[in-house]
């Protein structure tokens, strides 16, 4: 749980300062030190937003600061953002309540006939990836639903959906493989397909070019093009 007040010094204070400055307040330099200027900015923000005006950043103030950026940017999400914008656009997945607010069902039921063969890669062909009895699809970030739907629709329309065998996950809070940065899966904006034939770092990967093309045309960035390939991986975010 977030708890920040004057005298504290840490990374969350830095994020607080950056966010306040982004919203037009003046917390002083983003140095991670909660001094009098930062406190003044917090007080002003709380006053403006009908919060308890105590200069202390707990869950309520933090949640207010970091949640309402979504509708602001909704209409501009035509292209994948850069990595450093992800928290601004998709929210902070570490915040309490973020999952309820941000994750939704990506409904693929109109394409069920063409996609029902896809199974969960770490299980067996009997474990259907998208068939949840009363709905058909998977869970992802609500802002990326139209892009995922577009990609799958293209596969179905082009008759190439059979080239996908397994689905290997979307939302999953974790670090990038071999790095200390958050994976784009943490925001529910990335998907892994046919993982066992397209391992991280595998250069002779087997991703069907027709499938990769559908994701790329729908706006996704394909890990198969990276210097160290991650060919199973498609994300709605450009390289950092
Ligand atoms: Zn991935």
User: 63 vs 204, which has greater pLDDT?
Assistant: 204
Cα of 169 to ligand 1 centre, how many Å?
8
Q: For residue 179, give its domain range.
A: 72-235
> Is residue 75 very low, low, confident or very high in pLDDT (cuts 50, 70, 90)?
very low
- Do 120 and 36 reside in the same domain of the chain? no
pLDDT digits (tens, 9 = 90+) for 14-60: 989 998 998 889 999 999 999 999 999 999 999 988 899 999 999 88
Residues with CB under 5 A from ligand 1 (ion): 190, 192, 233
170 domain residue, yes or no: yes
Residue/partner pairs of 64-70 with CB below 8 Å, 24 or more apart: 65/16, 65/19, 65/20, 65/23, 66/19, 66/91, 66/92, 66/95, 67/91, 67/95, 67/97, 67/98, 67/101, 70/102, 70/143
The number of domains in the chain is 2
Cα of 225 to ligand 1 centre, how many Å?
13
CATH number of the domain bearing residue 33: 1.10.101.10
Mean pLDDT value of segment 168-186? 90
Q: Is the pLDDT of residue 70 over 60?
A: no
Which pLDDT score is estimated for 6?
97
Residue 124 CB contacts under 8 Å (≥ 6 apart), including other chains = none
Q: What is the reported pTM?
A: 0.71
CATH number of the domain bearing residue 86: 3.30.1380
Q: Is the pLDDT of residue 71 over 90?
A: no
- Do 62 and 141 reside in the same domain of the chain? no
pLDDT digits (tens, 9 = 90+) for 108-166: 999 999 999 999 999 999 999 999 988 999 999 999 999 999 999 999 999 999 999 99
> Is residue 76 very low, low, confident or very high in pLDDT (cuts 50, 70, 90)?
very low
Cα of 154 to ligand 1 centre, how many Å?
21
- Do 197 and 149 reside in the same domain of the chain? yes
Q: Is the pLDDT of residue 72 over 50?
A: no
Cα of 192 to ligand 1 centre, how many Å?
5
Cα of 223 to ligand 1 centre, how many Å?
8
The chain-wide mean pLDDT, for the chain, equals: 91
- Do 55 and 79 reside in the same domain of the chain? no
pLDDT digits (tens, 9 = 90+) for 194-223: 999 999 999 999 999 999 999 999 999 999
Give the end of a domain, one of 47, 67, 87.
Answer: 67
Cα of 221 to ligand 1 centre, how many Å?
11
Which pLDDT score is estimated for 62?
87
> Is residue 7 very low, low, confident or very high in pLDDT (cuts 50, 70, 90)?
very high
User: 64 vs 154, which has greater pLDDT?
Assistant: 154
Give the end of a domain, one of 52, 67, 82.
Answer: 67
197 domain residue, yes or no: yes
Cα of 10 to ligand 1 centre, how many Å?
30
5 domain residue, yes or no: no
Structure token pair of residue 32: 């991670």
Cα of 58 to ligand 1 centre, how many Å?
33
Cα of 183 to ligand 1 centre, how many Å?
8
Which pLDDT score is estimated for 180?
82
Residue 175 CB contacts under 8 Å (≥ 6 apart), including other chains = 181, 182, 183
107 domain residue, yes or no: yes
- Do 56 and 169 reside in the same domain of the chain? no
> Is residue 240 very low, low, confident or very high in pLDDT (cuts 50, 70, 90)?
low
Which pLDDT score is estimated for 32?
95
1 domain residue, yes or no: no
- Do 97 and 45 reside in the same domain of the chain? no
Cα of 159 to ligand 1 centre, how many Å?
24
Cα of 185 to ligand 1 centre, how many Å?
6
């Amino acid at each position: 749980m977030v708890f920040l007040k004057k005298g504290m010094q840490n990374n969350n204070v830095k994020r607080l300062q950056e966010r306040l400055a982004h919203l037009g307040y003046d917390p002083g330099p983003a140095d991670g030190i909660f001094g009098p200027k930062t406190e003044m900015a917090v007080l002003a923000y709380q006053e403006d937003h009908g919060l308890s005006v105590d200069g202390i950043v707990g869950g309520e103030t933090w949640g207010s600061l970091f949640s309402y950026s979504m509708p602001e940017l909704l209409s501009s999400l035509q292209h994948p953002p850069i990595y450093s914008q992800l928290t601004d656009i998709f929210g902070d997945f570490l915040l309490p309540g973020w999952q309820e607010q941000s994750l939704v069902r990506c409904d693929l039921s109109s394409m069920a006939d063409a996609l029902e063969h896809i199974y969960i890669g770490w299980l067996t062909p009997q474990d259907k990836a998208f068939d949840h009895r009363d709905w058909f699809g998977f869970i992802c970030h609500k802002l990326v639903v139209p892009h995922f739907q577009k990609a799958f629709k293209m596969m179905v329309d082009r008759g190439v959906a059979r080239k996908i065998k397994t689905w290997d996950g979307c939302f999953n809070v974790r670090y990038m493989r071999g790095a200390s940065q958050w994976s784009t899966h943490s925001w529910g904006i990335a998907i892994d397909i046919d993982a066992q034939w397209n391992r991280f770092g595998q250069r002779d990967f087997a991703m069907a070019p027709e499938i990769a093309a559908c994701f790329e045309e729908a706006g996704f960035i394909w890990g198969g093009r990276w210097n160290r390939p991650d060919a199973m991986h498609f994300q709605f975010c450009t390289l950092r």
